[in-house]
Structure 1
């Protein structure tokens, strides 16, 4: 049977995926969430004509020339209102953010006056009418559209929503990803491995990939190579309402590779198993009700690359989050042989020249168990199936993991 192409596999994973429903949350919890509904202003900002500077509120007609003198009749600070009205040749001491008193249309900044006698100010230079005033509604008015649906809420957008008097916002629900590592040989970090045992690492890379596109993670730990143990964790994932169930390991064809059988027993409808990718051939995908199941290979590098290529786009679409693989053209820093029938993701060291041209030099070792090389790789040279040989200096596409 021909292996499924990477592009076809990704298309089948994403083909009927729609964003999850909305939930309304407090504003202080909305950072990096995706807005589910547009935000309009609930108020006008600023709600009144106010001072943009510390100085003196007066009439523009009375401060058109240097040397003009004005009588000081009061003071107003932010949060208070001057109860009187400014008349001819009068002024009120005003501070930034305070409402402009009745009768005033200009603010003279404090640096441009002197006080020759108590209760009197003298202008050192003229001030044009309307200077240093923020007019009501200059930022926005009640009902104005402010933030579009689909916006990933950052600091500026949150400040704007707060200024518009929104205490809560409707956002797209974060996808919940349940992760199960499988294997009798695995122990959690911090353990002392016995004979034949290794430290489990895949969950941490998978979880980081999930969180990088806004998903929540439920770590269900390590399941030994027993059907009952794996089945129990699958049930936990379903009870928790996982949108995506990710397993790591146990998806190949060995006697202890039980993931496909257990998931099918628990109700998964298999879509595909095995794709034309290197590393990561034994990847499987299916659906268990509304939960999408992604069985990743156990080899650490294969697990990471498949998370980047398949899991992140899936989670981004569920969360209505913009996503695109970061792919750049680079110059190959070494000769590369022609590729075989599987799309290869070759770990490479990246160097950017002064002219901005990227150079990608593949590591000599490409074993899918070697995490140090994966961690040191700035990118992955993408070699399509049956790609011809590359000479040093030839252009090649490079996927830069995010």
Structure 2
């Protein structure tokens, strides 16, 4: 099999999506996970008519009849039983969140009244019946759905779960992932490399990205030794759902990974994609649906392939409600005279019309990862073209967000 297109690579990877079951976890630990159940209100939300502002509560019919000064009958805080007025000449001082008694139906904020000697006088402002009252069940009635399964759990969703008493949430179980780096030239981050060695950063980068999605991946570094690679790959395929490899998949004499994987029975679904960066990308499956994403070793290639292929695969496997694709307007011409699909590093900004604009970085190839901290997306430029003009619109894949 020769080089395949980005589109075909995506289709092959997405065809391998599948869930990993579910688990119950405390809501405090659920941020960033995917909800695997729908949540239902255990009572009306809000559970009572509530004051939306601090002020006075009165019966609107008295105001409509021309009354402007009311006797303050009580002061009511949030959490207290609702206070009633004995007559329509009276009002209640009421705080935000307090329950509104049926004898009153309108709340006027403090800024619109004058209070003196136990009486409140409404200023010359427009008043509407029912204003500043949040009606019982207006947000959701008892038994109604407050969140659908498939949602990414955000702080707001956790707050909703807490409001209905859901202390534990059913979430999609995450795949067990190991990040494997290879190469004799790579040393641990804390070591002092020789003039011709490099500190390992790919595994740290990938692990950091996965942490944003709740995956706490293990790490392993292997030397360029064929027998060691086979042995360790065999062990990892029995322990993990997904192997994320970086390096050792190109055409070098020490790039043993494709051969080692295929020797173990990992089925190659493709090797090499018509793209830059990331052309040598290798992808395969093992007998129990384990997946192997073997990325090239260049840092930008790893970063791009991770965001373009692995993260969308993860979202689909977890049943996440996929957001619409993002597009941006290119801010200057780009020439790319190669028969490959180019992923340009760009800085996304929004102009005063709300249009998403993309300005490409002038990088030094797939080994130049320093620009990744100054950009925030890859712009996917079509394979069919070599010249891309200012003002044209193309899809973008955000990162650093």
TM-score (norm 2): 0.80
Q: Tell me what 2:333 maps to.
A: 333
Counterparts of 1:324 and 1:204 in 2: how far apart (Å)? 29
Q: Contact 2:304–2:378 (CA<8 Å) still a contact in 1?
A: no
Mapped contact 2:52–2:134 kept (Cα < 8 A): yes
Report if the CA contact (8 A) 2:76-2:83 is conserved: no
CA distance in 2: counterparts of 1:53 and 1:363, whole angstroms? 53
> Quick check: 1:209–1:312 contact (8 Å CA) kept in 2?
no
**Residues 114, 9 of structure 1: alpha-carbon distance in 2 compared, 3 angstrom cutoff:** closer
- Change in 2 beyond 3 A, CA 1:234/1:66: same
| Contact 1:86-1:92 within 8 A present in 2 as well | no
Match of 2:269 in 1: 271
* Conserved 8 A contact 2:72-2:120: no
1:113–1:122 contact (8 Å) kept in structure 2? yes
Q: Hey, what's the Cα distance between the residues in 2 that align with 1:357 and 1:215? A: 28
CA distance in 2, matches of 1:37, 1:101: 36
| Distance change >3 Å, CA 377–CA 107, structure 1 → 2 | closer
Structure 1 residue 146: deviation in Å?
1.8
Aligned-partner Cα distance in 2 for 1:145–1:391: 47
Q: CA deviation at 1:244?
A: 1.8
Aligned length: 392
Structure 1 residue 390 corresponds to structure 2 residue 391: no
- How far residue 349 of structure 1 moved from its aligned partner, in angstroms, is 7.4
Residues 307 and 397, structure 2, Cα contact 8 Å, conserved in 1 = no
Contact between 1:22 and 1:173, CA under 8 Å: does it hold in 2? yes
Task: Name the residue aligned to 2:312.
Answer: 313
Answering whether residue 67 of structure 2 is matched by residue 70 of structure 1, we say no
Partner of 1:45: 45
Name which of 249, 268, 278 aligns with 2:247. Answer: 249
Residues 81 and 193 (structure 1 numbering): CA distance in 2 closer, same or farther, change over 3 Å?
Answer: same
**What's the counterpart of residue 158 of structure 1?**
158
CA-to-partner distance for each residue in 1:251-294, whole Å, 9 max, x for gaps?
A: 23434222223333444222222333333332211112221101
CA gap of 1:327–1:82, structure 2 versus 1, over 3 A, is closer
Any stretches of 5+ residues in structure 2 without a counterpart?
none
CA distance in structure 1 between the aligned counterparts of 2:192 and 2:122, rounded to whole angstroms: 79
The answer as to whether partners of 1:346 and 1:381 remain within 8 angstroms in 2 is yes
Between the aligned partners of 2:53 and 2:368, the Cα distance in structure 1 is 61
CA distance in 1, matches of 2:129, 2:351: 55
The 5 Å alignment of 1:58-207 reads 59-60=59-60, 64-66=65-67, 68=69, 70=71, 72=73, 74-81=74-81, 86-87=86-87, 89=89, 93-101=93-101, 103-106=103-106, 112=113, 114-116=115-117, 121=119, 123-124=121-122, 130=130, 132-194=132-194, 196-207=196-207
**Distance in 2 between residues matched to 1:140 and 1:348, nearest whole Å:** 42
The structure with more radius of gyration? 1
1:25 and 1:169 in contact (8 A); partners too: yes
Q: Distance in 2 between matches of 1:182 and 1:300?
A: 13
**Distance change >3 Å, CA 365–CA 80, structure 1 → 2:** closer
Question: 3-state DSSP class of the match of 1:234?
Answer: helix
In 2 relative to 1, CA 359–248 (structure 1 residues): closer, same or farther, beyond 3 Å? closer
Partner SS state of residue 216, structure 1: coil
Partners of 1:391 and 1:101 in 2: how far apart? 65
Q: Which has the larger displacement, 372-381 or 265-274?
A: 372-381
Structure-2 change in CA distance of 1:6 and 1:57 (3 Å):
closer
Distance 1:252 1:66 in 2: 85
RMSD across aligned C-alpha pairs, in angstroms? 3.8
- 1:84 and 1:354, CA in 2 relative to 1: closer, same or farther beyond 3 A? closer
1:303 equivalent to 2:302? Answer: yes
User: C-alpha distance in 2, partners of 1:234/1:139?
Assistant: 52
| Length-normalised TM-score, structure 1 | 0.80
